[in-house]
Chains A and B, each alone.
Chain A
Amino acid sequence: QLHLQESGPGLVKPSETLSLICSVSGASIISATYYWGWIRQPPGRGLEWIGNIYYTGTTYNNPSLRSRVTISLDTSKNHFSLRLRSVTAADTAIYYCARVLRDPDGDPFDYWGQGTLVTVSS
């Protein structure tokens, strides 16, 4: 049974770096069939894609966040990570990690973590 679990600080100060880990159990993050992503949702609002990472280490990020985002993976620990630099209150959101199914007709997020709320405040 695949399980994804986000972890990290729930409170980050403005201008600092938000760091989250997504621990994956029940499947290897080294896969040509799947890859891995981060999505966020500000309270009461819609979903915003942050970025994805392939097992090769190749990443694709939302252009609106690209300069502040780093996504990486640690195959020895079977987890992947998100770092978002220079945060502001606008980065307050529930952060989800998810698995992406490689499909020729569009890659859906087929499994999601439960999400973790990160608040940016001094």
Chain B
Amino acid sequence: DFQLTQSPSFLSASVGDRVTITCRASQAISTLVAWYQQKPGKAPKLLIYAASTLQSGVPSRFRGSGSGTEFTLTISSLQPEDFATYYCQQVKSDLFTFGPGTKVDSK
């Protein structure tokens, strides 16, 4: 079974902190990761796709990188509106998988 894991599961941080979230795939695949942000009571919002392409309208403090089986989402300077849960997502053979999520809350 293809699986995605995320670390950490929870992260406490302060405004201005640099935050890094990692997504690992159980096997290397050719397609790359997308990252989503979800706030309570809201639908997920696409932040990054193809591992590093910033979705239109997303602030440049969000950066994605990685290849193979390991991908990262970095927020260069955490802002108050960035406290949320973040999910990675990949596609393998037309089947989609989401990571379990990383909740970023205020320290």
* B44 is an interface residue with CB less than 8 A from chain A: yes
Interface size class of B (residues with CB under 8 A): 20 to 34
Provide the A93-112 mask, 1 if CB < 8 A to any CB of B, else 0. Answer: 00010000101011111101
Which of the candidate stretches A12-20, A22-30, A46-54, A75-83 sits at the interface with the other chain? A46-54
What is the number of contacts between chain A and chain B, taking CB atoms within 8 Å? 70
What's the nearest-Cβ distance from chain B to residue A6, in Å? 10
- Whether A112 contacts B91 by the Cβ 8 Å rule is no
- Whether A113 contacts B43 by the Cβ 8 Å rule is yes
- Whether A46 contacts B49 by the Cβ 8 Å rule is no
Q: Which residues of B contact A (CB under 8 A)?
A: 31-34, 36, 38, 42-46, 49-51, 53, 55, 87, 89-91, 94-101
- Whether A106 contacts B31 by the Cβ 8 Å rule is yes
- Whether B95 contacts A63 by the Cβ 8 Å rule is yes
Q: Which residues of A contact B (CB under 8 A)?
A: 37, 39, 46-49, 52, 60, 62-63, 96, 101, 103, 105-110, 112-115
Provide the bound-state CA to CA distance between A92 and B32, in Å.
30
Nearest neighbor of A49 in chain B, beta-carbon distance: B96
- Whether A103 contacts B87 by the Cβ 8 Å rule is no
What's the nearest-Cβ distance from chain A to residue B30, in Å? 9
Which among A46, A63, A106, A107 is the interface contact of B100 at CB below 8 angstroms?
Answer: A46
- Whether A105 contacts B44 by the Cβ 8 Å rule is no
Residues of the B chain whose Cβ atoms lie less than 8 Å from the Cβ of A47: 36, 38, 44, 87, 89, 98, 101
Provide the bound-state CA to CA distance between A37 and B98, in Å.
14
- Whether A105 contacts B98 by the Cβ 8 Å rule is no
